[in-house]
Amino acid sequence: MRSWKFFILTALILGTTVYTGYAAALAPLLVTGSACSGGGTVWTVYEDRNGDGTFDYRTRHDCDGSITAGIFDNVTTPTHLCDFPTGIAVDYTLTTSLQSSGLYDWGLQAHRTSDNALVASVYRSGSTLACSIEEGFLQ
């Protein structure tokens, strides 16, 4: 009898552990597109904001400098975050950090190609998504 109770207890513990686990969120993905006239590149950062293993949120930079963000459903109108400087050739670096919630924080830095000066940054920390333009590049 004792081994039967031990087996049931072990199965319940293992079953609970497996059931309460969450799917790992996908790491943010930077996709660059076409080059903009005068410098810069169209880019999009895709995110898995609910941890279900699919991209459901995007932050996008267009050649006009606008950076918008919103749910990736082709229905919701994205929110305007800021305007990146235009006409500057830049290189992008995306850094990510997995949080205890199972979701990712991330930062995207744009550095001027000619001298590696930081031009602008976009970052996500928890539910906060923001951008900053370095003083010398404000338009």
Task: Give 10-residue mean pLDDT values along the chain (139 residues).
Answer: 47 42 81 84 93 94 92 84 88 94 94 93 94 84
- DSSP β-ladder status, 104-112 and 118-125: antiparallel
Retrieve residue 55's tokens.
Answer: 């991209």
Residue 122, φ and ψ in degrees, nearest 5: -125, 135
Measured distance between the N- and C-terminal CA atoms of the chain, rounded to whole angstroms:
78
pTM for the full predicted model:
0.78
CA distance 111 to 114: 9
